[in-house]
Amino acid sequence: MERVPILKLGDILIISIQIDLDDQSVLALQEDLADRVVSAGARGVIIDISAVEIIDSFIGRMFATIAGMCRMLDAETVVVGMRPAVAITLVELGLSLGGVRTALNLEKGVALLDHLGDRGTPR
Amino acid sequence: MERVPILKLGDILIISIQIDLDDQSVLALQEDLADRVVSAGARGVIIDISAVEIIDSFIGRMFATIAGMCRMLDAETVVVGMRPAVAITLVELGLSLGGVRTALNLEKGVALLDHLGDRGTPR
């Protein structure tokens, strides 16, 4: 059980991070995700981190890389479910998520993607 | 990262099993899930097992217990994303999932729950 499963719902892909991510699994996730965004024609990717207790600069960079990659493939990325303690730590350490959008939970993430889709601005 | 996160989308709860479940984490999951079904007023629970490579009788019983528990709380349970190898092993070993409904993937699971909801039969 090393690969993070990618769920598909309509044109949104959902990833729930539950394992400690090392270099290998992050690379695998990015590759799998890029493939799925293309094959599914996804317009949005939601990454749920409600099970994640610690975010360091490594994970932060991963979110930024995924978001940049998805944007190239015409999909928006939203990180949802951040624990309050994680948000506090991120700010205290001066870490950013590289401009990745966040939402409180999965539902609000889906609503955000719907909203972004409605605007239909060229990117 | 011991607890399995429970995602909510509308009146459906989504669980993605990615870790090896032992007795403790199964009990914790069942408790968390029962609480969430009630607090969210959920009508359906979808358990994604696309990351699960091995299902033994212990996991099989867990699905049956969860499904029974959710039915008591007026919610239906659907297991989705079973790998072909897992299905083969289950049949070969003569294991059943205790009459738990299955669907190919998350989308079909949601469709199944919608279909069940539409029938509106008293339970």
pLDDT in tens, B46-70: 999 999 998 888 888 899 999 999 9
Closest chain A residue to B13, measured at CA = A106
For residues A101 and A75, the answer to whether their CB atoms sit within 8 Å is no
- Return the residue in B2, B11, B13, B16 with the most chain A beta carbons within 10 A, the one to mutate for interface testing: B16
* Per-residue pLDDT tens digits for A42-54: 999 999 999 999 8
Chain B residues inside the 8 Å CB shell of A50: 5, 7
Query: What ipTM does the predicted assembly reach?
Result: 0.85
B106/A contact by beta carbon, under 8 A? yes
- pLDDT of B123 > 50? The answer is no
Q: Which residues contact A29 (CB under 8 A, 6 or more apart)?
A: A3, A4, A15, A21, A62, A66
Residue B48 C-alpha, separation from nearest chain A C-alpha, in angstroms: 8
- pTM value is 0.89
A93/B contact by beta carbon, under 8 A? no
Interface of B with A in 17-76 (CB under 8 A): 18-20, 48, 50-53
List domains and CATH numbers for chain A: 6-119 (3.30.750.24)
Closest chain A residue to B1, measured at CA = A51
Among the listed residues B106, B121, B47, B31, the one whose alpha carbon sits nearest the alpha carbon of residue B79: B47
Is residue A69 very low, low, confident or very high in pLDDT (cuts 50, 70, 90)?
very high
The answer to which of A56-65, B30-39, B106-115 has the lowest mean pLDDT is A56-65
